[in-house]
Amino acid sequence: MSEFYAHPTAIVETARIGAGTRIWAYAHVMNNVTIGSNCNIGDHCFVESGVIVGNNVTIKNGNMLFDGVELEEGVFVGPHVFFTNDLYPRSPRLEQCKYRYESSDWLFKTKVCRGASLGAGAVIVSNNTIGEFAMVGAGCVVTHDIPPYALVVGNPARQIGWVCQCGLRLKEDGQKAFCPSCGRQYQVIDGRVSPV
Amino acid sequence: MSEFYAHPTAIVETARIGAGTRIWAYAHVMNNVTIGSNCNIGDHCFVESGVIVGNNVTIKNGNMLFDGVELEEGVFVGPHVFFTNDLYPRSPRLEQCKYRYESSDWLFKTKVCRGASLGAGAVIVSNNTIGEFAMVGAGCVVTHDIPPYALVVGNPARQIGWVCQCGLRLKEDGQKAFCPSCGRQYQVIDGRVSPV
Amino acid sequence: MSEFYAHPTAIVETARIGAGTRIWAYAHVMNNVTIGSNCNIGDHCFVESGVIVGNNVTIKNGNMLFDGVELEEGVFVGPHVFFTNDLYPRSPRLEQCKYRYESSDWLFKTKVCRGASLGAGAVIVSNNTIGEFAMVGAGCVVTHDIPPYALVVGNPARQIGWVCQCGLRLKEDGQKAFCPSCGRQYQVIDGRVSPV
């Protein structure tokens, strides 16, 4: 099988992990999880059955990825980002709510697209998609879909600019935008950014 | 004694745990803690001496329950909710503050009443009570008491509606309210909701 | 060497830890970390290489201290405070961003000065300094420097008052301020507080 590294204190219950991926101290990866190659999963992470993680993903310490979360290639998850999968959570052990947890209709998904970044302590309310290369600021609460390349901050999340694939802020010039650091060029059409 | 399950990597230092309760990987439950039956305590949780937890409570991963916290029956605590017990915290090791920590006057309590839910990453400032069946949104900062059945979001918490015992939002009709999902009926009197 | 205590489940990879310091369950302290004497580091903490911690510091459970973080003497870090060290984080494994992570220019520092307190779940955006004896409220997002003795709350952080070295709120009286609890006297000049 593939060659991945797991710290001696980590619990890894799936074999579907790509080559070069490293899983650090006190992390717990359940069965029925798929993780790509060359990823880094920090200390004290929990990855629940059903989660899908692409290649080259960086998951910082203390993250809890629940069933329904999918991270595409190259995503960055800062320390202690909060994923959710239930819009109206109750203890399923409570008599009044049991009917809601008899099927999986309560479960909503979260998709984080290629190259996007989630800042430390961000809260991602489920049933939303983070567009590719978007950047969610530290402590931000995401309650709706985030467009590709958007930089969002605050509670609830509001957009304050655009970011490059390399992560730095774009400079806008009418219908064009560019990265002052790496030089990549973009177009801005109908409030959406895409590479030229 | 009662039959509860603890993961081999969990540390459990109390025997006051009810039947059917499960405690998962890397969790630490200190002595002088009381936990009811049929509860679920997720990975990486910490439960400090003095905490009281009722029956049928679901505590998701990464929660830290400090002395002074009481969770009644059927409460749901989402991942990484932040409980506190000191309104003006300082390092007790600091010379200037030692006098404040010589008694336990600094310690304020938090009570979460029957059936209430706390969303992922919510912050619960101590000396407050979360009313029964209330729902605190993900990332919400609670700085005052929350009425029963209230749905609150934001920082600081503000109320945006009412929820049913089953967790879904109530529809209001004058002094009445009902749940479109399970059909439960409520009355709305003086800005408080209660079951009919 | 010095006499510190580490819980049997803790991983401690540095010897630069002062006498009387205690490190609790499932905590991980990397090499090239310096920690003073008489500190307390709670369960599930992670302390990365490069971190510096003074004497008499209290670090509550679940904290992740990353390279670039310095805590001076007597600091209080509440549960699950979020430190960061990258203003525009990307997965360094992503082809488009690798150039940014070839040097350490991406790394920004955070300094928390003597006696300051950081509340539960606070987010500290890097490249900022928390002034001595300042107090950051629970769930607060710090995006700029915080003056000494300031009490700040909200997202983003805004100042709502001043606090004493002992942690309680100061009463202001023109250019003077005092602590109703311990009696310490302060002066308020040009919007800055300092002890008399």
| A68 in Cβ contact with A50 (< 8 Å) | yes
Q: Which residues in chain B have their CB less than 8 angstroms from residue C170's CB?
A: none
- What's the pLDDT at C131? 98
User: What does the pLDDT read at residue C2?
Assistant: 66
Q: How confident is the model at residue C38 (pLDDT cuts 50, 70, 90)?
A: very high
Nearest-by-Cβ selection for C61 from B64, B99, B121: B64
| Nearest-neighbour CA in chain B from A190: distance (Å) | 30
Mutate which: A45, A91, A103, vs B, most B CBs within 10 A: A91
Place of tokens 């099927």: A103
Average pLDDT over all residues of chain B: 95
Question: Considering CB atoms only, which of C26, C115, C139 is closest to B26?
Answer: C26
C-beta of residue C14 within 8 angstroms of C-beta of residue C29:
yes
3-class secondary structure, A96: helix
**pLDDT for residue C1 is more than 80:** no
User: Which residues in chain B have their CB less than 8 angstroms from residue C181's CB?
Assistant: 100
Q: Is B91–C74 a contact, with Cβ atoms under 8 angstroms apart?
A: yes
Of B26, B82, B89, the CB nearest to C167: B89
Shortest CB distance from C44 goes to which of B44, B96, B99?
B44
- In this predicted structure, the answer to whether residue C26 has a pLDDT above a threshold of 80 is yes
Cβ-based contacts of C154 with chain B (< 8 Å) = 155-156
A188-192, B96-100, C51-55, range with greatest mean pLDDT: C51-55
State the ipTM, two decimals.
0.90
Domain B5-86+107-170, classified CATH 2.40.50.140, yes or no? no
| CA dist., res. B63 & res. B147, Å (int) | 23
Q: What does the pLDDT read at residue B105?
A: 87
Domain residue spans of chain B? 5-86+107-170
User: For residue range B173-189, what is the model confidence (pLDDT) as tens digits?
Assistant: 989 999 999 999 999 99
Return mean pLDDT, chain A.
95
Q: What pLDDT score was predicted for residue C105?
A: 87
- Chain C residues within 8 A (CB-CB) of chain A? 11, 26, 28, 44, 46, 62, 64, 66, 80, 82-84, 88-97, 99-100, 121, 123, 125, 141, 155-156
Q: Which tens digits make up the pLDDT trace of A29-46?
A: 999 999 999 999 999 999
**Cα dist from B177 to B132, B159, B195, C101, whole Å:** 17, 16, 9, 56
Å between A2 CA and nearest CA of chain C: 18
Between B182 and A155, residue with greater pLDDT: B182
Report DSSP letters for chain B, one per residue: ----EE-TT-EE--S-B-TT-EE-TT-EE-SS-EE-SS-EE-TT-EE-TT-EE-TT-EE-TT-EEPTTEEE-TT-EE-TT-EE--BSS---TTSGGGGGGGSSSTTB--EEE-TT-EE-TT-EE-SSEEEPTT-EEPTT-EE-S-B-TTEEEETTTTEEEEEB-TTSSBPEEETTEEE-TTT--EEEEETTEEEE-
How does residue A109 score in pLDDT terms, banded at 50, 70 and 90?
very high
Cβ-contact B162, B172 below 8 angstroms: yes
Q: How many other CB atoms are there within 10 angstroms of residue A183's CB atom?
A: 9
CA distance B56 to chain A (A): 5
pTM: 0.93
Q: Do A117 and C28 touch (CB under 8 A)?
A: no
Q: Which residues pair with A152 in a beta bridge?
A: A136, A159
Query: DSSP labels for chain C?
Result: ----EE-TT-EE--S-B-TT-EE-TT-EE-SS-EE-SS-EE-TT-EE-TT-EE-TT-EE-TT-EEPTTEEE-TT-EE-TT-EE--BSS---TTSGGGGGGGSSSTTB--EEE-TT-EE-TT-EE-SSEEEPTT-EEPTT-EE-S-B-TTEEEETTTTEEEEEB-TTSSBPEEETTEEE-TTT--EEEEETTEEEE-
**Residue A27: what pLDDT?**
98
Quick: pLDDT tens for A77-93. Answer: 999 999 989 989 999 99
Predicted pLDDT of residue B2: 65
pLDDT at B155: 86
Interface probe for C, chosen from B86, B94, B107, B140 (most Cβ of C below 10 Å), is B94
C chain contacts of residue A26, beta-carbon cutoff 8 Å:
26, 28, 44
Per residue in C124-163, pLDDT (tens digit) is 999 999 999 999 999 899 999 999 999 999 988 999 999 9
- The C-alpha atoms of residue C165 and residue C163 are separated, in whole angstroms, by 7
pLDDT for the residue B1: 52
Residue of A nearest to B79 (CA): A82
Any idea which of B114-118, B161-165, C26-30, C139-143 has the lowest mean pLDDT? C139-143
Of C115, C121, C163, the CB nearest to B82: C121
Q: Do A96 and B115 touch (CB under 8 A)?
A: yes
According to the model, what pLDDT value does residue C20 have?
A: 97
Q: Do B96 and C182 touch (CB under 8 A)?
A: yes
% of chain B at pLDDT higher than 70: 99
Share of chain A above pLDDT 90, in %: 87
pLDDT at A2 over 70: no
Mean pLDDT score, C88-99: 92
CA separation for the pair A107, A130 (Å, rounded): 18
Closest CA to B73 of B128, B122, B34: B34
